[in-house]
Amino acid sequence: MVWKKILLRAFVFILLMAGATQVSIQALKFYWSRTDQRMNPKPPLAKPEPILTRISPAPPPTADLDPSPLTVIASDVTNKLAFLIRRAEMFEADGDYPRALERYQEALLIDPNNAETLAAAGRLYLLTENYSEAIDKLNLALAAGVVTPELLNNLGTAHLQTQHPEEALARFKQILESYPSFSQAAFNAGVANLYLSREPEAFEYFSAYRKLAPEDPRPLREMARIEWNLDHPTNAIALLEAAIQLKPDWHVPYLDVAMMTARTGDPEKALVFLQQAESHTDPATIYQVLQSPLFKEARRTDTGRALESSLAQRAREQMLAPDRQGSQADLDE
């Protein structure tokens, strides 16, 4: 991760120092692929409150009744299982998913048929991107009787990540039939339909999610992309502007509007949105985007030339003098 960031910065820096005015289409596509990995319809994982069984230690023996050896062993096993689960929950809350998963795995060695532990392990396998193990553990939990919207959503998400959108969609629909207000399932059903190239159906699910989670801008962006693909640019831009109103510090819809307005022949408006996007990301990113052939006409305007020059200068300054905190954060990853 650190070396990728260093190489990307060095690549852009070389272009800027050389006074380059055209960045290759491949470089631009690389940027958009990185953006899509972050913000494209990648289904959110359900992160409910832990649903593991709370196991209390056995009560202490009375003074006139000595415990049998078997009772002592059972109590020790119960205590160890409870301890492992508490440790797993603590690590998961801290975002240390690998260590949390280790504790759940140890718990399953003690009680391999515990449905709640299977469900929790499946969730952790999903969070650590081991999708085949996630599907296995979640199905075992389902067979053992844990039928919750969170489990079904995670199972559907795992199927989606393994390129099985039909199976994923079936799980999301199953949730919505019994839990119509479970918002993640509506969003994920929209994503599954996009995987299946069913844009009208996807639009309906994103619209439903928008009603359930009106503060989330993501469905607006996905709906905008569908409108754009259906040759409705005015609707698409309006939806993106609504997303910006909801989350002004999310730079992605600014870039989407800039691209769309550049395509529809409004270079000045495209430049305005590029300038606004810079407030929420870095100048090197905006400089790369500006080099796209889409912005050829925009770069020829007085505003475009001035923006290109100022972006190059700010990007050079940023790369020559990175702040210490940012550099340390890169090293820590």
In a domain, 236, yes or no: yes
* CATH at 296: 1.25.40.10
The whole-angstrom separation of Cα 28 and Cα 278 is: 16
Is 239 part of any domain?
yes
Q: What is the domain count for the chain?
A: 1
- Measured CA distances, 163 to 156, 158, 159, 268, 304 (Å): 11, 9, 6, 41, 42
Q: What is the pLDDT of residues 283-325, one digit of tens each?
A: 999 999 999 999 999 999 999 999 999 999 998 988 887 554 4
> pLDDT, tens digit, for every residue of 76-108?
777 888 888 889 889 988 899 999 999 999 999
Q: Does residue 69 belong to any structural domain of this protein?
A: no
pLDDT tens for each residue of 50-68: 223 223 333 333 344 444 4
Q: Confirm whether 126 is domain-assigned.
A: no
Q: What's the rounded mean pLDDT across residues 188-195?
A: 95
Residue 292 in any domain: the answer is: yes
Domain assignment present for residue 82? The answer is: no
Q: Is 322 left (phi over 0), alpha (psi -120 to 50) or beta?
A: beta
Q: Which residues contact 8 (CB under 8 A, 6 or more apart)?
A: none
Range of the domain at 311: 219-323
CA 140, chain centre distance (Å): 26
Q: Residue 39 falls within a domain, yes or no?
A: no
Name the nearest CA neighbour of 146 among 121, 177, 109, 180: 121
**Rounded to two decimals, what is the model's pTM?**
0.72
Position 42 in a domain: no
Q: Give the C-alpha separation, 37 to 113, whole Å.
A: 36
